[in-house]
Amino acid sequence: MKKLLVEAGVLSNEAVIPVVWKMVVHAPEIAAQVQPGQFVAVRREGSAHFLRRPFSVADADPAAGTLTILYRLVGRGTAEMSGMKAGETLSVEGPLGRGFSLDGGRALLVGGGVGIAPLIFLSRRLEQPVLLIGGKTKEEVFWKKFLEPYAAKIYITTDDGSVGRKGFTVQAMPDIFAENTIDRVLTCGPMIMMQGVAAAAKAQGIPCEVSMEKRMACGIGVCLGCTFESKKDGRRYKVCADGPVFGAEEVFG
């Protein structure tokens, strides 16, 4: 798969909730190649930030030539992005990294926080997956509306019980396994959540893939700033180039 560097026109950029924004850009060359779980590295022309910012691809439409990025406002870089208007251009590098496996039977997708974003694209490419998404409150599980067109069933957990089941995502997994035939688990979100998800899948003898998030400088495996030591064979892997998707046994043992 060829990595590309393109000037992408911003088609829309709007808040989904006050702290999470959705940007759609026209980047047909990348949209035609990108796979679920891969990411792009972006930079605004004239930005005060020298390094590109990595973002998972929340959706891609090859026919329309569009990429969708969902991002949380967490600092000056994303605040700058939220100020971009339709008609401006964004420098986009991608597709980068290795994505999720698309074959292997019926999947349970588990996501938390902005880790739910790449599961939208993944859901669209799978056959009737089961979804489990979690957040602190009802407001943080707005993702359901993006996932409903592709999911066979969606389970929701919230820390405060304001919607769905009260508690954490991993606590709902035994019931989901009991109610559905699940062949594999694919997850993206906070590390502590993914560790629990991987352990629950392992207890059932079900393979699991995890999408890691680490600070990246180069995004192409040169700077070695996002490496980790495999729990399986002791090798050091680069999250940006070898991942971000890995077998759970590599990350958690």
- Distance separating alpha carbons of residues 86 and 14, to the nearest angstrom: 10
The pair of structure tokens assigned to 183 is 């062949």
> Is residue 221 scored above 70 in pLDDT?
no
Q: Residue 3: pLDDT band by 50, 70, 90 thresholds?
A: confident
Contact 202, 115 (CB under 8 A): no
CATH 3.40.50.80 fits 107-252, yes or no: yes
What whole-number percentage of the chain has pLDDT above 70?
Answer: 94
Residue 213, pLDDT score: 79
**pLDDT digits over 224-250, tens only?**
678 888 899 898 998 888 999 999 999
Residue 45, pLDDT score: 81
CATH superfamily, region 4-96: Translation factors (2.40.30.10)
Specify the pTM: 0.93
Find the mean pLDDT for residues 125-140: 95
Helix (H, G, I), strand (E, B) or coil at 228: strand
Q: Residue 118: pLDDT band by 50, 70, 90 thresholds?
A: very high
Residue at 72: amino acid letter: R
> Is residue 46 scored above 70 in pLDDT?
yes
Residue 106, pLDDT score: 97
* DSSP letters for 40-72: EEEEETT-S--S-EEEE-SEEETTTTEEEEEEE
The pair of structure tokens assigned to 89 is 């251009």
Q: Any idea where the domains of the chain sit in the sequence?
A: 4-96, 107-252
